[in-house]
Amino acid sequence: MKQLFTFIRKEFLHVFRDRKTLLMLFGLPIAQIVLFGFALSNEIKDSRIALVDYSKDAVTTRLIGKIEASHYFDIQHTLASADQLNAAFKRGDIKMAVIFPANFGDDLTHTGKATLQIIADGSDPNQATTITNYLQSIVNDYNAELARDAQQPLQIRPEVQMLYNPELRGAPNFVPGVMALVLMLVCTMMTSVAIVKEKELGTMEILLVSPFKPIYIIISKLAPNLLISIVNLFIILILSDIFLDLPVKGSIALLVFCSILFILTSLSIGLLLSINAKTQQAAMMGSLMGMMLPTMLLTGFLFPIENMPFILQALSNLVPSRWYFIIVKRVMLKGLGFSAVWKETLILAAMCFLLFAISLRKFKIRLQ
Amino acid sequence: MKTLYFLLEKEFRQLLRNRQLMRTLLLAPLIQLILLPLAADYTVKDIQIAVTDNDHSPSSQRLIAKITASGYFRLAGYTASYPEALRMVEQDKADLALQIPAHFERDLVRENNKQLYVAINAIEGTKANLGGAYLQSIISDFNDDLRIQWNVPASDTPQVTVTSSNWYNPLLKFPLYMVPAILVTLVTAMVAMQSAFNIVQEKESGTIEQINVTPIKKHIFIIGKMIPFLALGIVLFTMGLLVGRILYGIVPVGSLWVLYGSLIVYLFSMLGLGLLLATYSFTQMQAMSLSFFFINIFNMMSGVFTSVDSMPGWAQTIVATFPPSHFIKIMRMVVLKGSGFSDILPKLGAMALIGLFLNTWAVLNYRKTA
């Protein structure tokens, strides 16, 4: 036991001596929570659009006024003719053009119907659909104003309530995602590199010939990373409470328990990666390249998993951060208890146990 | 010139000899490029809806049938009370809850208007927005149906209608938008950061001292380190374009010259960053944590997944200093819209400027003395 303690102390010294890495490890979650929390959102606003008004009458002026007042649009140009549109799209100046044909107002008053045309830049499909919908709803609003005096009969009025995130901010979705991403990648990378480094420098041989048990080597390698990650976890939780107004609604103890389980799972992945890698470079590439994009995409905080093709949905089940993300959302944002997350916790625990057992078995006590 | 030639020979040999590394460098991005665009799809479908029907009238049943028949919604279940439906939302079994209150049909006839209650899980913004919008338009359609069926004609008010079309990608296919951007992030992580590791590796193993004591000039050494990764980047990029063409049918509309010209400027700026990070790190661990810091922020902020235009002004200013944000825009413009050289000039200029700045800084900071 005393041996183990000495070795853990050695590993801590290694980690704390490297000030630059340490600074980065703590700087990363801080920078990401602040940057992502404030800057990222799935909402689309301030889209640059162009207006082409061939009619210039009272009706188009009123509609344009409504469009201007919306924070979804940022009117860049009022083009005189639609011929300039292609060039503006190609320069990327605008994302959408709204064209009012000639005699718009006259058509509306005399025939009771007028049609305006929207051309959206379909190269970004999500933005194109969303801003077309926004404009459609502005027009619907206008129609409702026209209809107000007429007193429509039999009106069904849906009353819509946005739960958990009434202002539709991006942060509630991104904070749990960033937590999952940062904890997982930092743990995996640091662990795999720390072990492979000993191999590369040849000091692993010294460790292996010592009377020290292999399991102790592993535990002492994991201990500092576990501690760093737990500190990071608290930094993230405190920052999101102070800056992003996202306190932990549920039980903190439960969240911390699940987080530690998740951290241990990630550490085991790092351990597994280190077994196959011969050089630090290969370990880094494996953890950075192999894990970063899949974790980002398959955790489910950027794109809904249920939309993905079957094979990717199946793959996402193997990504621990996916389950952790669900737990954080339920416990931190919705304030639910253990009964709501026991299934996910169980899956994480099983993954953790399995990965650790495999890497323990495969851990080579000989270099060749 | 001859020195450079020999240095290049050394670098290429070292790079090509490391089979494990080459495999990861070439295969990992390809596999990801094949699989990941499939994951990146914002199209909202199969929204789970929990319904509480306290009315049990023919109208309420018709409304529910209309919602489930729309193709956007899937019935997660009927509940006897609204709180139960809300609990389903809480447990993520449903994305939204709809309550049709008791006496809905009767009150609608008697009082000429009646509320419906909808609650949406708004944690995922896109889904909430679109789900709400779809449901409201179905309800308003249903409203029109009712008026026709009960022979209460809607009063004749003027209506503005909208026709819309989408240029450059009329079917709004998502991979068309994602593949170019994912390719950029893969090239970035593979090539630019690899150059940082490479230099630091020489530092750590001490071989850089051997080069430092030779009469090789600082800039020749740096150019010798950069060219192999530039070449690797171009190879990777070409492979990516081919994958996009074969699997997703993406043929760049614009000129390949513009595309490759921008790629070289981009790689120049990112290799500059890699070099700069290398001059500040002494161990591979440091180089790794530094580059991880940057890559992660680049990936999330450069507009691959979320729109840069929607960010607050200060964030947009920060993002403008990230080379990937410019190159991702250029890629999407040239590949999808066929933008020409003059269209992308401002972005290209910005990238070149950032590259020049980073490289100058790196060269100034690079010391031949260890």
- Across the interface, of B161, B166, B337, the residue whose CB is closest to A128 is B166
Please state, in angstroms and rounded to a whole number, the distance separating the CA atoms of residues B140 and B67: 11
Domain presence at residue B361: yes
A232 Cβ under 8 Å from any chain B Cβ? no
Are B125 and B204 contained in the same domain? no
Work out the pLDDT band at B331, boundaries 50, 70, 90.
very high
Q: What is the average pLDDT value for chain B, to the nearest integer?
A: 84
- Residues of chain B in contact with residue A285, where contact means CB-CB under 8 angstroms, are 21, 24-25, 28, 194
- Across the interface, of A21, A130, A136, the residue whose CB is closest to B286 is A21
Are B265 and B329 contained in the same domain? yes
Mean pLDDT of B13-22: 79
> What averages of pLDDT result for each successive group of 10 residues across chain A (368 residues)?
81 82 83 81 80 86 87 79 81 86 85 86 82 84 72 69 70 82 85 83 78 81 89 90 85 92 91 82 76 81 80 88 90 85 92 90 68
Q: How big is the A-B interface in CB pairs under 8 Å?
A: 379
- Residues of chain B in contact with residue A128, where contact means CB-CB under 8 angstroms, are 166, 169, 172
Query: A296 or B326: which carries more pLDDT confidence?
Result: B326
Please state, in angstroms and rounded to a whole number, the distance separating the CA atoms of residues A45 and A134: 10
- Across the interface, of B115, B186, B337, the residue whose CB is closest to A157 is B115
Are B96 and B215 contained in the same domain? no
Nearest one of B273, B287, B258 to B323, comparing CA atoms = B273
Contacts of B244 by beta carbon, 8 Å cutoff, 6+ apart: B33, B179, B180, B183, B250
pLDDT at B370: 46
Are B8 and B57 contained in the same domain? no
Are B115 and B209 contained in the same domain? no
- Across the interface, of B90, B92, B297, the residue whose CB is closest to A32 is B297
Are B97 and B204 contained in the same domain? no
Work out the pLDDT band at B241, boundaries 50, 70, 90.
very high
Are B231 and B335 contained in the same domain? yes
Tokens 């994305």, located at residue: B95
- Residues of chain B in contact with residue A89, where contact means CB-CB under 8 angstroms, are 167-168, 337
pLDDT at B357: 95
Are B102 and B240 contained in the same domain? no
Q: Which residues pair with A160 in a beta bridge?
A: B118
Q: Are B147 and A154 an interchain contact pair (Cβ–Cβ within 8 Å)? A: yes
Domain presence at residue B340: yes
Work out the pLDDT band at B368, boundaries 50, 70, 90.
low
Are B122 and B208 contained in the same domain? no
The separation between the first and the last C-alpha atoms of chain A, rounded to the nearest angstrom, is: 29
Contacts of B50 by beta carbon, 8 Å cutoff, 6+ apart: B76, B77, B78, B79, B84, B85, B88, B89, B93, B94, B96, B97, B98
Last residue of a domain, one of B149, B183, B217: B149
3 state SS of A175 = helix
Mean pLDDT of B335-347: 88
Are B241 and B201 contained in the same domain? yes
- Across the interface, of A18, A92, A113, the residue whose CB is closest to B161 is A113
3 state SS of A114 = strand
Nearest chain B Cα distance for residue A93, angstroms: 10
Asked if A18 and B285 touch (Cβ cutoff 8 Å), the reply is yes
pLDDT at B156: 63
| Tens-digit pLDDT profile for residues A147-164 | 765 666 667 777 777 777
Domain presence at residue B163: no
pLDDT at B237: 92
Query: Which of B173, B306, B314 to probe by mutation at the A interface, max A CB count within 10 Å?
Result: B306
Please state, in angstroms and rounded to a whole number, the distance separating the CA atoms of residues B128 and B336: 29
Asked if A48 and A20 touch (Cβ cutoff 8 Å), the reply is no
- Residues of chain A in contact with residue B325, where contact means CB-CB under 8 angstroms, are none
Please state, in angstroms and rounded to a whole number, the distance separating the CA atoms of residues B13 and A361: 36
Domain presence at residue B370: no
- Residues of chain B in contact with residue A36, where contact means CB-CB under 8 angstroms, are 300-301
Domain presence at residue B162: no
Domain presence at residue B164: no
Q: Which residue of B has its CA nearest to A126?
A: B42
Q: Are A303 and B90 an interchain contact pair (Cβ–Cβ within 8 Å)? A: no
Domain presence at residue B154: no
Asked if A74 and A46 touch (Cβ cutoff 8 Å), the reply is yes
ipTM over 0.85: no
Q: Which amino acid would we find at residue B11?
A: E
Main-chain phi, psi angles of A78, to 5 degrees:
-120, 100
- Residues of chain A in contact with residue B128, where contact means CB-CB under 8 angstroms, are 162, 165, 168
Main-chain phi, psi angles of B297, to 5 degrees:
-70, -40
Structure tokens at A111: 């025939």
A47 Cβ under 8 Å from any chain B Cβ? yes
- Residues of chain B in contact with residue A120, where contact means CB-CB under 8 angstroms, are 164-167
The structural domain count of chain B equals 2
Nearest chain B Cα distance for residue A176, angstroms: 11
Domain presence at residue B132: yes
Nearest chain B Cα distance for residue A75, angstroms: 13
Nearest chain B Cα distance for residue A185, angstroms: 9
Q: Which residue of A has its CA nearest to B18?
A: A282
Nearest chain A Cα distance for residue B355, angstroms: 22
Q: Are A158 and B311 an interchain contact pair (Cβ–Cβ within 8 Å)? A: no
A32 Cβ under 8 Å from any chain B Cβ? yes
Are B259 and B304 contained in the same domain? yes
Are B295 and B252 contained in the same domain? yes
Share of chain B above pLDDT 90, in %: 15
pLDDT at B358: 92
Give chain A's domains with CATH numbers.
Answer: 2-40+168-362 (no CATH), 47-143 (3.40.1710.10)
Last residue of a domain, one of B118, B149, B180: B149
Q: Which range has the worst mean pLDDT, B2-6, B126-130, B278-282? A: B126-130
Residues 186-225 of A with CB under 8 A from B: 189, 193-194, 197
Q: Are B112 and A135 an interchain contact pair (Cβ–Cβ within 8 Å)? A: no
- Residues of chain A in contact with residue B174, where contact means CB-CB under 8 angstroms, are 125-126
Nearest chain B Cα distance for residue A320, angstroms: 17
| Tens-digit pLDDT profile for residues B44-77 | 677 888 888 888 888 888 888 888 888 888 888 8
Q: Are B290 and A20 an interchain contact pair (Cβ–Cβ within 8 Å)? A: yes
pLDDT at B369: 55
Asked if A156 and B139 touch (Cβ cutoff 8 Å), the reply is yes
Domain with residue B76: its CATH number is 3.40.1710.10
Please state, in angstroms and rounded to a whole number, the distance separating the CA atoms of residues A174 and A246: 11
| Tens-digit pLDDT profile for residues B129-177 | 778 878 888 888 888 788 777 776 665 667 777 787 888 887 778 888 8
Nearest one of A45, A49, A47 to A97, comparing CA atoms = A49
Domain that residue B55 falls in:
47-149
Q: Are B163 and A115 an interchain contact pair (Cβ–Cβ within 8 Å)? A: yes
- Across the interface, of A122, A289, A296, the residue whose CB is closest to B166 is A122
